[in-house]
């Protein structure tokens, strides 16, 4: 079993910025409070990793802007698409067990019932590697419609939660379960229990019900209930619930290369899908491609491996740089993540 590092938290007087410069924790906390006030961010959970160890975790603000109850270190947020990187890690566990082959067509595991007839030839070449690196040509969400594969798989980029959930179904069936409670139990056994992420879940449970904060939109709290999500389906692309210190245990494992073989980590961190020159994301963010689960962006401090999560009333972010052992994880209960990260860069250096 992997052992979780002890959180230093706010007892630490200084931490390192992304370039190694020393930053006083008091100065960081002050900057965070200033930024949250200036952009009306209700609540935040934030963790920072230095030299592969979690050295900072703190929470700020309120769970519900109307009720004013403070966020605490047990507070749970929606992680949205931060589901995808940790699911990719889980998928690599399945590869190591021989349950999944990265390069075997997914059609051979489980034929998809809703692929357009004109797309059949391309569709039958799609592999788990393509799913995890977003090169399937699937739409992000099919919304019950017939799927048209947009390009020859493996030749371009198309971000797709739909493809991730298809792979989730395959893994569930390969394990003799579907994609609900029994699937979540396998995920916990393989990932969250070994990493010490005891309160992180893809499915609704009593701990989430007691500790989940409210999302916010237009300065007002949104429904804290299940909404359109039943809470009973393991949505590999979107349904993770967590907070910064626990999700940082996963990022720490990526940095320390724990829980998988070196070969599997090499696969996850290699560029599996390099963006074409006209890719809009590359033009907008400087990201250059995708590994298995994480986007990639070159920086002055080394290659960033990163992912955002966006349910609009909840947003999240995780990034790490293997060359330096640096990482950061943020969960917030509003749609103001990007301006916050931009402001945070003034004290911590390039984060996104």
Same domain, 65 and 141: no
Rounded Cα gap, residues 84 and 294, in angstroms? 8
The pLDDT of 75-101, averaged and rounded, is 97
User: What pLDDT shows up at residue 7?
Assistant: 45
Q: Which residue has the higher pLDDT, 227 or 66?
A: 66
With tokens 């390069």, the residue in question is 103
Q: What is the CATH number of the domain that holds 258?
A: 3.40.710.10
Lowest mean pLDDT among 219-233, 268-282, 283-297, 305-319: 219-233
Of all residues in the chain, the percent with pLDDT exceeding 70 is 94
Of all residues in the chain, the percent with pLDDT exceeding 90 is 82
**Assigned domain for 265 exists:** yes
pLDDT-derived band at 70, boundaries 50, 70, 90? very high
User: What pLDDT shows up at residue 224?
Assistant: 57
**Assigned domain for 40 exists:** yes
User: What pLDDT shows up at residue 25?
Assistant: 95
The values of phi and psi at residue 261, to 5°, are -75, 160
Q: Which of 174, 209, 235 is the last residue of a domain?
A: 174
Same domain, 219 and 305: yes
Rounded Cα gap, residues 179 and 33, in angstroms? 40
Same domain, 306 and 281: yes
**Assigned domain for 2 exists:** no
Same domain, 183 and 136: no
Work out the mean pLDDT of the chain and round it to a whole number: 92
Same domain, 57 and 205: yes
**Assigned domain for 148 exists:** yes
The pLDDT of 228-232, averaged and rounded, is 64
The pLDDT of 78-82, averaged and rounded, is 95
pLDDT beyond 50 at 213:
yes
Same domain, 155 and 40: no
Per residue in 29-54, pLDDT (tens digit) is 999 999 999 999 999 999 999 999 99
Residues 6+ apart with CB under 8 A from 350: 18, 299, 300, 301
Same domain, 83 and 227: yes
Q: Which of 174, 195, 224 is the last residue of a domain?
A: 174
User: What pLDDT shows up at residue 284?
Assistant: 87
| Residues spanned by the domain of 127 | 100-174
Q: Which of 174, 193, 224 is the last residue of a domain?
A: 174
**Assigned domain for 141 exists:** yes
Same domain, 241 and 340: yes
**Assigned domain for 4 exists:** no
Indicate yes or no: pTM above 0.85: yes
**Assigned domain for 241 exists:** yes
Per residue in 245-276, pLDDT (tens digit) is 999 999 999 999 999 999 999 999 999 999 99
Same domain, 240 and 215: yes
Count of structural domains within the chain = 2
Same domain, 318 and 344: yes
Q: Which residue has the higher pLDDT, 193 or 5?
A: 193
**Assigned domain for 36 exists:** yes
Q: Are 273 and 293 in contact (CB under 8 A)?
A: no
Same domain, 249 and 158: no
Q: Are 29 and 10 in contact (CB under 8 A)?
A: yes
Same domain, 216 and 249: yes
């Amino acid at each position: 079993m992997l052992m979780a590092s002890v959180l230093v938290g706010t007892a630490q007087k200084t931490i390192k910025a992304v370039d190694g410069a020393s930053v006083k924790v008091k100065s960081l906390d002050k900057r965070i409070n200033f930024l949250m006030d200036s952009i009306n961010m209700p609540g935040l959970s934030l963790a920072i990793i230095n030299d592969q160890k979690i050295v900072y975790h703190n929470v700020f603000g309120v769970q519900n802007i109307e009720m004013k109850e403070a966020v605490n270190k047990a507070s749970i947020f929606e992680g949205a698409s931060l589901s995808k990187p940790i699911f990719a890690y889980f998928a690599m566990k399945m590869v190591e067990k021989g349950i999944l082959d990265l390069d075997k067509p997914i059609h051979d595991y489980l034929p998809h019932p809703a692929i357009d007839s004109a797309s059949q030839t391309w569709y039958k070449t799609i592999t788990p590697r393509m799913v995890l690196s977003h090169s399937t040509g699937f739409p992000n969400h099919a919304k019950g419609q017939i799927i048209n594969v947009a390009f020859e798989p493996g030749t371009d980029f198309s971000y797709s939660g739909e493809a991730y959930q298809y792979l989730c179904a395959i893994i569930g069936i390969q394990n003799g379960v579907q994609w609900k409670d029994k699937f979540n139990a396998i995920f916990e056994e393989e990932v969250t229990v070994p990493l010490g992420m005891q309160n992180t879940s893809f499915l609704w449970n009593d701990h989430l019900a007691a500790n989940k904060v409210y999302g916010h939109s237009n300065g007002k709290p949104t429904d804290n209930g299940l909404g359109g999500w039943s809470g009973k389906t393991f949505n590999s692309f979107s349904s993770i619930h967590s907070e910064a210190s626990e999700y940082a245990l996963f990022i720490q494992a990526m940095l320390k290369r724990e829980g998988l073989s070196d070969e599997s980590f090499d696969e996850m961190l290699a560029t599996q899908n390099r963006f074409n020159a006209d890719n809009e994301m590359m033009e907008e963010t400087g990201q250059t491609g995708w590994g298995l689960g994480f986007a990639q962006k070159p920086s002055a401090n080394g290659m960033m491996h990163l992912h955002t999560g966006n349910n609009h009333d909840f947003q999240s972010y995780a990034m790490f740089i293997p060359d330096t052992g640096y990482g950061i994880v943020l969960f917030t209960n509003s749609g103001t993540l990007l301006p916050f990260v931009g402001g945070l860069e003034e004290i911590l250096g390039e984060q996104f």
